A and B are shown apart, each in its own frame.
Chain A
Amino acid sequence: SQQGEEDPQALSIQEGENATMNCSYKTSINNLQWYRQNSGRGLVHLILIRSNEREKHSGRLRVTLDTSKKSSSLLITASRAADTASYFCATDRQGFQKLVFGTGTRLLVSP
């Protein structure tokens, strides 16, 4: 079963706009990761944030983590058509060595 849920389920924006996706999860975690999946292909790791971190940046990506609310957000700035994909958050619970993925946000960036 999925541990997390992403919100919104789908997001449609224009190139150049920012895209924000949210992830909520249920249990205490070690780390939270974000992955991207292009249509019909494997997942690509984007960024990992530890439970003791609050914010992390990587290029055009900004991730925040609020462990008190059990939530995270992924911000993609200055979006491009190539950012069109599904985005998943994944968590690993304390004491477990596996990732539990959310349901994903489908992002469509139109030229």
Chain B
Amino acid sequence: DTGVSQDPRHKITKRGQNVTFRCDPISEHNRLYWYRQTLGQGPEFLTYFQNEAQLEKSRLLSDRFSAERPKGSFSTLEIQRTEQGDSAMYLCASSPYRVTKLAGVHEQYFGPGTRLTVT
């Protein structure tokens, strides 16, 4: 399977603990996105990378959140001192950004997500 993979698929943690999620994008995709999705809502943008550069962060990404993509391949999202409000599905997506006549965001390929439950 050459799609986007995420690990772990489920994570249960106690409030105050740190958690780290991993995303492996489609290998030739240079853009990688993180989203958060709560029950009954659409995904909300958190941050994105083009290769190893983090180009935009949402205001949703408090200082307890940090994301990296050190070699422009896989990415990690860490949440420190988790709170119950962090409970959500964390989705990763990759995209083959290309300089074309198509302005804006191209189609994105999503992973299955990591479901975080903070108790």
Contact = CB atoms under 8 A, between A and B. Distances in A.
Interface residues of B, number: 28
Interface in A55-101: 88, 90, 92, 94, 96-101
**B interface majority secondary structure:** loop
Contacts of B56: 96-98
B91 to A, nearest CB: 6
Interface residues of A, number: 28
B101 to A, nearest CB: 10
Contacts of B33: 98-99
B85 interface: no
Interface stretch (B13-21, B40-48, B62-70): B40-48
Given A2-B41, A43-B91, A97-B56, A30 B110 contact: no
Contacts of B109: 45
Contacts of B72: none
